[in-house]
C-alpha cells in the first residue's frame, strides 16, 4: 500500500510558512497540517489574515479534512505527541521560530527555548516516528561577518553575530546528531533575506513600503546605505522548499538565495521609484549584529534541488508593492470603519 504524504508545516501562519502551505495545497502533494502559536512577535492579526487567505483559497481541502489548522506551540511536547500519534506525518517543514535578528539581543533565552529546544522536540518525534524527510528553515545569518564571498556551505560558520544566528546554527548541528544517531533525513535550507507579499512587518521591504505611504515613519539607513543584502523573492524560496521536501538526501545544508546582493541605497531607490515618494531616512552606524553583506553561492542548490531563482529584485519589489497597495488600502478602510 502506498503511504500518502502528510506534511506538518510549523510556523505555517507566518510569512514564508503561509506561502509554503499555499503551494503544497495547490500542488496537491498530500495532506497538510499547519501548526502555529500565532505569537505576538508581530501582530497576530497579520497571521490570522494569512490563515484566512489560506482557508478561503483551499476551502474544499478544509472540508475534506486534508488541510488541518492547529493553534499550538512547538515547545508543548505533549501536544506534539498527540499530533504525531493522530496523523501519520511523513514530512516536516520546520519554520516556526523567533526570526528577528535585533530583538534576539534582548530576549536570548526565549530564542534558545523556541529555536533550539523547540527544534529538538520536533527532531525527537521525527526520529521516533521515522518520518521520510525533515526540512529546516535556517538562515544566511549563520555566516556572520566573513571574507569568504559568496557565502558557501563549507564555511565553518563558527562566529555568529547575534543570538538568533547562534540558535539557528546550534539547531543545524543538533539536526546532524539526529541524522547520525537515527538516520533521519534532514535538509537544512539557509535562506537569504526573503521578501514578497505578506512579508514580515519588521523587515526592511515592508518598513520601506510603510514609510513611503506614512510620512511619520523614518527609516534607519545603516552605513550610508552601503550594506548589501541578497534579497530573494518568496516564490523562489518556496521552489527550494518543495524540491527539498521531495528528495531525502541524508543530511545536507543548502543555501537558498538569489546570488545577487544589492546595496541598501539601491534597494531604497527601487521602492521610492515604485511609490513616487521620497522616504524619510536617518543615517545610522551599523549594528553589531549586522554583517556588511549577505551573498549566496547557490550552486549546491542548483545542483541538488534544481534551484533556479527567477525573480529579479526589480520584478519582485513590483509584485510586493502591488500587493502592499491593495493590503494597505484594506487596512486603512478597516481603520476608517471604527
Ligand atoms: N524572512 C526571512 O528573510 C528569513 C531568512 C532566513 C531564515 N528565515 C527563517 O524562516 C522561518 C520563517 O520566517 P518568517 O520570515 O516567515 O517569520 P514569521 O515570524 O512570519 O513566521 C514564523 C512563525 O512561527 C510561529 N511561531 C513562533 N514560535 C512558535 C512556537 N513556539 N510554536 C509554534 N509556532 C511558532 C510564529 O507565530 C510565526 O507565525 C523562520 O524559521 C526564520 O528564522 C526567514
The residue contributing the CA closest to ligand 1 atom 15 is 15
Check residue 338 and give its pLDDT.
42
Q: What string of DSSP letters covers 24-68?
A: HHHHT-SEEEEEE---SSS-HHHHHHHHHHHHHHTHHHHHTTSEE
**How large a percentage of the chain has pLDDT more than 70?**
96
Determine contact, residues 135/241, Cβ cutoff 8 Å: yes
The residue contributing the CA closest to ligand 1 atom 28 is 97
Check residue 333 and give its pLDDT.
58
Partners of 67 in the β-ladder? 32
Angstrom distance (rounded) from CA 7 to CA 156: 31
* Angle value at C-alpha 277, between 274 and 281, nearest 5 degrees: 110
Asked if the model's pLDDT at residue 86 lies above 80, the reply is: yes
Check residue 182 and give its pLDDT.
98
Angstrom distance (rounded) from CA 205 to CA 317: 8
Angstrom distance (rounded) from CA 81 to CA 75: 11
- Does domain 6-199+232-259+295-311 correspond to CATH entry 3.40.50.720? yes
The residue contributing the CA closest to ligand 1 atom 11 is 95
300: exposed, middle or buried (Cβ count in 10 Å: 0-12, 13-18, 19+): middle
Angstrom distance (rounded) from CA 184 to CA 113: 22
Asked if the model's pLDDT at residue 203 lies above 80, the reply is: yes
Encode pLDDT of 252-299 as tens digits: 999 999 999 999 999 999 999 999 999 999 999 989 999 999 999 999
Angstrom distance (rounded) from CA 267 to CA 265: 5
Ligand 1 lined by 96 (C-beta under 6 Å): yes
Mean pLDDT of 212-230: 93
Asked if the model's pLDDT at residue 336 lies above 50, the reply is: no
Helix, strand or coil, per DSSP, at residue 70: strand
Ligand 1 lined by 46 (C-beta under 6 Å): no
Asked if the model's pLDDT at residue 334 lies above 60, the reply is: no
Name the band, by pLDDT with cuts 50, 70 and 90, for residue 172: very high
Rounded to the nearest integer, the mean pLDDT of the chain is 95
Ligand 1 lined by 38 (C-beta under 6 Å): yes
Crossing angle, helix 264-275 and helix 313-336, to 10 degrees? 50
Determine contact, residues 74/113, Cβ cutoff 8 Å: no
Ligand 1 lined by 95 (C-beta under 6 Å): yes
Asked if the model's pLDDT at residue 335 lies above 80, the reply is: no
Check residue 55 and give its pLDDT.
98
Q: For residue 95, how far is its CA from the centre of ligand 1 (angstroms)? A: 5
The residue contributing the CA closest to ligand 1 atom 12 is 95
Ligand 1 lined by 75 (C-beta under 6 Å): yes
Give catalytic residues, as residue numbers: 164
**Mutation test residue for ligand 1: of 14, 34, 170, 231, the one with most atoms within 8 Å of CB:** 14
Asked if the model's pLDDT at residue 8 lies above 70, the reply is: yes
Q: For residue 10, how far is its CA from the centre of ligand 1 (angstroms)? A: 9
The residue contributing the CA closest to ligand 1 atom 39 is 14
Q: Which of these, 327, 35, 52, 308, lies nearest to 205 by C-alpha position?
A: 327
Check residue 187 and give its pLDDT.
98
CB atoms under 10 Å from CB of 336, counted, come to 7
**Mutation test residue for ligand 1: of 11, 20, 38, 117, the one with most atoms within 8 Å of CB:** 11
Ligand 1 lined by 323 (C-beta under 6 Å): no
Q: What are phi and psi of 233, to 5 degrees?
A: -75, 140
Q: To the nearest 5 percent, what fractions of the chain are helix, strand and coil? A: 45, 15, 35
Ligand 1 lined by 136 (C-beta under 6 Å): no
Residue 75 CA: which ligand 1 atom is closest? Answer: 31
Encode pLDDT of 22-75 as tens digits: 999 999 999 999 999 999 999 999 999 999 999 999 999 999 999 999 999 999
Amino acid at each position: 500500500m502506498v503511504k500518502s504524504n502528510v506534511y506538518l508545516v510549523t510556523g505555517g501562519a507566518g510569512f514564508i510558512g503561509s506561502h509554503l502551505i499555499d503551494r503544497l495545497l495547490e500542488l496537491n502533494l498530500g495532506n497538510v497540517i499547519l501548526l502555529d502559536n500565532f505569537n505576538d512577535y508581530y501582530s497576530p492579526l497579520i497571521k490570522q489574515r494569512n490563515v484566512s487567505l489560506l482557508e478561503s483559497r483551499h476551502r474544499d481541502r478544509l472540508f475534506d479534512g486534508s488541510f488541518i489548522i492547529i493553534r499550538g506551540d512547538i515547545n508543548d511536547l505533549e501536544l506534539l505527541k498527540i499530533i504525531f500519534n493522530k496523523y501519520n506525518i511523513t514530512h516536516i517543514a520546520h519554520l516556526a521560530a523567533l526570526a528577528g535578528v535585533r530583538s534576539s539581543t534582548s530576549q536570548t533565552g526565549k530564542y534558545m527555548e523556541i529555536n533550539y529546544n523547540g527544534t529538538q522536540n520536533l527532531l525527537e518525534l521525527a526520529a521516533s516516528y521515522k518520518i521520510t524527510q525533515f526540512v529546516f528553515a535556517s538562515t544566511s545569518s549563520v555566516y556572520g561577518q566573513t571574507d569568504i564571498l559568496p557565502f558557501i556551505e563549507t564555511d565553518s560558520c563558527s562566529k555568529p553575530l547575534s543570538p538568533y544566528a547562534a540558535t539557528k546554527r546550534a539547531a543545524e548541528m543538533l539536526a546532524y546528531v539526529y541524522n547520525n544517531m537515527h538516520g533521519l533525513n534532514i535538509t537544512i535550507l539557509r535562506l537569504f533575506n526573503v521578501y514578497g507579499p505578506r512579508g514580515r512587518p519588521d523587515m526592511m521591504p515592508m518598513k520601506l513600503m510603510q514609510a513611503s505611504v506614512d510620512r511619520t515613519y523614518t527609516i534607519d539607513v545603516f552605513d550610508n546605505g552601503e550594506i548589501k543584502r541578497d534579497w530573494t523573492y518568496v516564490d523562489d524560496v518556496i521552489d527550494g522548499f518543495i524540491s527539498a521536501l521531495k528528495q531525502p538526501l541524508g543530511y545536507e545544508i543548502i543555501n537558498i538565495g538569489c546570488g545577487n546582493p544589492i546595496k541598501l541605497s539601491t534597494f531604497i531607490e527601487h521602492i521610492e521609484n515604485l511609490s513616487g515618494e521620497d522616504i524619510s531616512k536617518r543615517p545610522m552606524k551599523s549594528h553589531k549584529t549586522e554583517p556588511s553583506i549577505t551573498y549566496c553561492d547557490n550552486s549546491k542548490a542548483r545542483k541538488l534541488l534544481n534551484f533556479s531563482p527567477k525573480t529579479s529584485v526589480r520584478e519582485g519589489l513590483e509584485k510586493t508593492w502591488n500587493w502592499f497597495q491593495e493590503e494597505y488600502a484594506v487596512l486603512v478602510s478597516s481603520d476608517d470603519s471604527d
